[in-house]
Amino acid sequence: MLKGKHIVLGITGGIAAYKSAMLLRLLIKAGAEVQVVMTPAAKEFITPVTMSALSGKPVVSEFFTANTGEWHSHVDMGMWADLMIIAPATASTIAKMATGVADNMLVTTYLSAKEHVMIAPAMDLDMWAHPSTQRNILTLESDGVEVIYPGAGELASHLVGKGRMEEPENILKAVEAFFQRESLSNLRSESLKGKKVLITAGPTHEKIDPVRYIGNSSSGKMGFEIAAAFARRGAEVTLVAGPVSLPTPEGNIRRIDVESALEMHHAALKAFDDASIAVFTAAVADYRPSESFSSKIKREKDEVPVIHLVKNPDIARDCGSRKTPRQFLVGFALETDHELENAASKLERKNLDMVVLNSLRDPGAGFRTATNKITLITEDAVVSFPLKSKKEVAEDIAEAVCAAICGKPADN
């Protein structure tokens, strides 16, 4: 299961250090190569000789070996490792990690680690429950460290944990789960490699005069999460974004900022021909003022201005009408009544391959929420999902598109 995996096992000075010998044995038995790093205090609890005998490698504890003067490079160790796990992690080491106090080899190695890091805290209950420890744990979690909660097997809670280190068998399970997740995400990162994806997101603002516009309350969050989900699958994403205040997600994402429906239409159609997949999440204004005033409209005493509207182009439909068999198009439908019928008719009317229906009736779905509840509609299937975070919803949509395009003709 862990064959060929390189693991740095950090051991700190807690009574649970004796359990690290068992953890080390389990890791080695599962096929991992393990480099043990001990804090000076850890050596009071278990000898480096035991650990080097079990790992088949000299234990690293000091910055250099006293008799030979050989320098131990924490940077090299970071390059070599696929995972760093600190078990047991004492309150003191956790505090040093959280604040960057690199006064021993173990914390120094942690600070230069590029690999995933896990800790298995071990201390008495008062120390564990102390606000200072809990604060440090939260800091580490927000830094991306995975915490194996004491007694997580029985009680998975920040404060109700027992302080006692999780059993080595369960730590091994967490290690195996990490590598499993990682190999899945590696597989996923290849699934749309090189595919070009167009995504429209956010609202549009239709100018009335230099300071006023017609808009809507779309935050753009759903579209940005979808852009991130496709980028995670190796796609080259073009994100045409209306006026939103969101940072561009990480990955291969080219962002084109636009204001109005006409600008969005222009940018989207330009990117469309090259795209294999297009997802239209934008809440495009259906109408725009027939003229926009070049200076601010003044308040007149008796006269009320009348704004005449004209229809905006339908970006999804215009792309749909140009669609070739190698392209897969996804539209959104936000409906209040006859949801399924309306969404299904959009599939046909706009020549789309999939419609994501979010009902305004579902609490937590739609604009300005962090969650969404969707139904995916294709020509031959209707699949409903439970209420999820927008990130998870984006994953579901990207997965469904991946599965659907497996049967599509290849590019070129």
- Which of the residues are catalytic? 216
d(CA 206, CA 194): 35
Quote the CA–CA distance of 344 and 314 in Å, as a whole number.
Answer: 17
Q: Which backbone phi and psi does 143 adopt, to 5 degrees?
A: -85, 0
Tokens 């970071």 correspond to what residue? 78
Count the residues of the shown chain that bind ligand C5P, applying the rule CB under 6 A.
Answer: 14
Least Cβ distance, residue 155 to ligand C5P (angstroms) = 45
Other beta carbons less than 10 A from residue 362's beta carbon: 16
Interface segment toward ligand C5P; rule CB under 6 A; list 32-40, 69-77, 246-254, 311-319: 311-319
| Residue 132 · residue 98 · CB < 8 Å | no
Instruction: Work out how close the CB of 260 gets to ligand C5P at its nearest, in angstroms, rounded to a whole number.
Output: 11
224: contact with ligand C5P by CB under 6 A: no
- Residue 293: CB minimum distance to ligand C5P, A: 23
Q: Which is nearer to ligand C5P, 281 or 327 (CB)?
A: 281
353 lies in the site for ligand C5P, by CB under 6 A: no
Regarding 233 and contact with ligand C5P (CB under 6 A), the answer is no
Of 166 and 225, which CB lies nearer to ligand C5P in the complex structure? 225
Q: Which of 346, 390, 400, 402 binds ligand C5P (CB under 6 A)?
A: 346
Structure tokens at 68: 């030979």
14 within 8 A of 46, measured Cβ to Cβ: no
Q: Which residue lies nearer to ligand C5P by CB, 220 or 331?
A: 331
* Under rule CB under 6 A, residue 315 binds ligand C5P: yes
CB 235, min distance to ligand C5P, A: 19
Report which of 25, 13, 156, 159 is spatially closest to residue 86, judged by C-alpha positions: 13
Q: Is 312 in the site for ligand C5P (CB under 6 A)?
A: yes
Q: Distance between alpha carbon 230 and the CA centroid of its chain, in Å? A: 11
Q: How far is CA 221 from the centre of its chain?
A: 13
C-beta of 284: minimal distance to ligand C5P in Å? 4
Gap between the Cα atoms of 139 and 94, Å rounded:
10
Q: Which amino acid is at 264?
A: M
**DSSP β-ladder status, 212-214 and 206-209:** antiparallel
Whether 14 and 123 have beta carbons less than 8 Å apart is answered as: yes
Q: Does 228 bind ligand C5P (CB under 6 A)?
A: no
Q: Does 227 bind ligand C5P (CB under 6 A)?
A: no
* Amino acid in position 102: A
Residue closer to ligand C5P, measured from CB, 110 or 280: 280
Record the tokens describing residue 336, joined without a space: 């209040």
The answer to the question of residue 314 lying near ligand C5P (CB under 6 A) is: yes
d(CA 142, CA 321): 46
- Least Å from the CB of residue 164 to ligand C5P: 53
Among 220, 331, 353, 373, which residue sits at the site for ligand C5P (rule: CB under 6 A)?
331
Of the listed pieces 68-76, 169-177, 182-190, 310-318, which binds ligand C5P according to CB under 6 A?
310-318
Per the listing, tokens 């280190």 go with 165
**Min CB(264)–ligand C5P separation in Å:** 8
Range 257-286, binding ligand C5P (CB under 6 A): 261, 280-282, 284
> What distance in Å separates the CA atoms of residue 97 and residue 111, rounded to the nearest whole number?
8
Tell me how far apart the alpha carbons of residues 373 and 191 are, in angstroms, rounded to a whole number: 25
Stretch that binds ligand C5P, among 40-48, 76-84, 139-147, 327-335 (CB under 6 A): 327-335
> In the window 190-209, what residues touch ligand C5P (CB under 6 A)?
200
Sites of contact with ligand C5P (CB under 6 A): 200, 261, 280-282, 284, 312, 314-316, 331-333, 346
